[in-house]
Amino acid sequence: MNEKTVLEFIDRINARDVEGIIRFLSDDHVFIDAQGNEFKGKDRLRKGWAEYFVLFPDYNIAVEDILLKENLVVVFGYASATYKGFTADPTNYWRLPAAWKGLTGKEKIKLRQVYADYALISEIIEKNK
């Protein structure tokens, strides 16, 4: 996988294009979130992304660096979003440094893992229950 393909995948995330995201995933894809929860398979990821974009309709990844080595991809940058689009309260917005690790197969992403401090996001969700 090359840098252009990685940026195209992130572009689909930033566009909140669930089907576009799914096209980059292998059939046996595994996603591990920042809390260590594992989600497997395209169908589960399709549902997961759709649900995530309801919670965070303006979710965005800002890339600072990309490292590529054989089938390993590491992206460093920032993730940001507003909880359920509640923009009237600026405390519902978050922006955090994050890293994403990906393992690729034949031009598809087999594993994607997020590394970020999820505490602020959890606080915002809890506050709005």
Q: What is the CATH number of the domain that holds 34?
A: 3.10.450.50
Higher pLDDT, 110 or 86: 110
Count of structural domains within the chain: 1
What pLDDT, on the 0 to 100 scale, is given for residue 114? Answer: 97
What pLDDT, on the 0 to 100 scale, is given for residue 107? Answer: 80
Segment 44-57 shows an average pLDDT of: 95
Q: What is the span of the domain harbouring residue 102?
A: 3-127
Segment 109-127 shows an average pLDDT of: 94
Give 29-45 pLDDT, tens digit per residue. 999 999 999 999 999 99
Distance CA 39, CA 33 (A): 8
**DSSP codes joined into one string, 33-44:** -TTS-EEESHHH
What pLDDT, on the 0 to 100 scale, is given for residue 45? Answer: 95
78 phi-psi bin (left φ>0, alpha ψ -120 to 50, beta other):
beta
pTM above 0.85, yes or no: yes
Give 74-96 pLDDT, tens digit per residue. 999 999 999 997 878 889 999 99
What pLDDT, on the 0 to 100 scale, is given for residue 112? Answer: 96
Q: How far is CA 1 from CA 23, 106, 110, in A?
A: 14, 8, 12
